Amino acid sequence: MGPVPEGAEAYRREFPTRVTSSAGQADRRPGIKDVAAIAQVSVGTASDALNGSGRVASRTRARVRQVAEAIEYRPSTLARSFRTNKSHTIGLSIRPFGGAPWQYLAVSYYARLLSAATAEALQRGYALIVLPPNTPQILGRIVIDGAIIADPSPYDLLTDELDLLGVPFVSDLSRMDDPAALCVGNDHAAAVTTVCAHFRSQGARSVGMLLSDGTEDYNTRSLHGYQTWCARNGAPVRVERASTVDPVAMAKAADRLMTGPDRPEAVYTTEGPAGHLLQEAARRNDLRVPDDVLLACAEVPVAGREQLDLTTLNLNAEHVAAQAVDLLAQTLEDQHPIDRHRVVDTTLHVRGSSTRTTSS
């Protein structure tokens, strides 16, 4: 018999049922010691040969690899992860939305974030695990190297547990005061300012704001940006808030912005799905868009985007995801990124709902 037995058959012939304890189960997956035994090297050498550490003769490496291929050896990812203390997985937690905890995929921003984060992570050799928000217990069962917390509520329970476990995570700009924190997000204050300026350029003197009643960072920043703009431009502040969970409440809030003698000449909402609620409210109140009131919203459900002819603020979820994954990956690979706070630009897509056709 030659020194290099080839194929799984030869392997089985030479090592018939290598099982130690319970007889009969010859179907156990081959381990690295099987490879080593057949290739007539030690496990250490086999490991080096397979991982290409360079310190093994090319002839023996070839032999070891040949054997590994022949018996279809696959290293145990579990053991390897354990040994290297890396699982190559990152968690992504998205805040609850619309009552149901997983409703968020209906919001284009989060769907895009998830897609892009998954793609970007995989490209770098990480898999993405979808985590529930506010459920730190899950971290006791599963393994992640790092995490991305999208739009955490100010007291998200996950973050504390992650800190305790020493798992690095990226969150939004709400943690910017901590220079060590990893932050990626939009400058929502600037975004709102852009929208308001656009409204004004179209002749609107007053702008109303439809906000969620949540306490996420984007909410507070958007509100702050709005208030600042109003103050600087001598415009009245007109804010309505309602729970994102409750479309009826949202619709009523929209109605409040469309009625009364002092109703604003333009309305913006940070809640994408509320975009068409604004359109419906305008219709209910016999206001023509854009003639009587200008409208815009941040993101919008994917389908029917064009049909709605709605001016939108693109938060560039793909960029956010890419930056977040990049920042996390660098940190996990001990590259100590210098720019740990990253602000992603927003883009205003002007469409019919905010373009004055007749001068007022």
Q: For DNA, which stretch binds (CB under 7 A), given 53-61, 224-232, 238-246, 266-274?
A: 53-61
Smallest separation, CB 3 to DNA (Å): 12
Bond before 290 cis per omega within 30 degrees? yes
User: What is the spatial distance between Cα 170 and Cα 346, in angstroms, rounded to a whole number?
Assistant: 19
> Encoding tokens for residue 309?
């002819």
Should residue 8 be labelled a site residue for DNA when binding is judged by CB under 7 A? no
User: What is the spatial distance between Cα 209 and Cα 97, in angstroms, rounded to a whole number?
Assistant: 20
| Residue 50 interacts with which of DNA, its own copies, none, CB < 5 to 8 Å by class | DNA
User: What is the spatial distance between Cα 298 and Cα 270, in angstroms, rounded to a whole number?
Assistant: 5
Q: Of the two residues 64 and 191, which places its CB atom closer to DNA in the complex?
A: 64
Should residue 115 be labelled a site residue for DNA when binding is judged by CB under 7 A? no
Smallest separation, CB 3 to its own copies (Å): 26
List 31, 75, 203, 337, residue binding its own copies (CB under 8 A) = 75
List 26, 142, 231, 248, residue binding its own copies (CB under 8 A) = 142
Distances (CA, A) of 134 to 113, 207, 348: 19, 35, 32
Burial 103-129 (b: 16+ CB within 10 A, else e): ebeebbbbbbbbebbbebbeeeebebb
Ramachandran category for residue 99: left, alpha or beta (phi over 0 → left; psi -120 to 50 → alpha): left
Smallest separation, CB 52 to DNA (Å): 11
List 75, 101, 301, 337, residue binding DNA (CB under 7 A) = 75
Q: For its own copies, which stretch binds (CB under 8 A), given 10-18, 97-105, 255-263, 341-349?
A: 97-105
Cβ atoms of 199 and 354 closer than 8 Å:
yes
Q: For DNA, which stretch binds (CB under 7 A), given 28-36, 203-211, 240-248, 254-262?
A: 28-36
Should residue 180 be labelled a site residue for its own copies when binding is judged by CB under 8 A? no
List 36, 131, 207, 210, residue binding its own copies (CB under 8 A) = 131
Q: How many residues bind its own copies, per CB under 8 A?
A: 51
Should residue 66 be labelled a site residue for DNA when binding is judged by CB under 7 A? no
Should residue 203 be labelled a site residue for its own copies when binding is judged by CB under 8 A? no
User: What is the spatial distance between Cα 325 and Cα 125, in angstroms, rounded to a whole number?
Assistant: 11
Instruction: Say which amino acid occupies 242.
Output: A
Alpha helices in 32-133 (DSSP H): 32-39, 43-51, 58-70, 77-84, 108-123
Should residue 141 be labelled a site residue for DNA when binding is judged by CB under 7 A? no
Q: Which of 107, 74, 81 is nearest to 8 (CA)?
A: 74
List 37, 38, 50, 278, residue binding DNA (CB under 7 A) = 50
Q: Residue 161: which H helix or E strand, with range?
A: helix 157-165
Residue tagged 């130690």 (tokens)? 20
Contact set with DNA (CB under 7 A): 31-33, 40-45, 47-48, 50-51, 53, 55-57, 59-61, 75-76, 79-80, 82-84
Contact set with its own copies (CB under 8 A): 29, 72, 74-75, 77-79, 81-82, 85, 87-89, 91, 101-103, 105-106, 111-112, 114-116, 118-119, 122, 125, 127-132, 135, 138-143, 164-166, 273, 300-304, 307
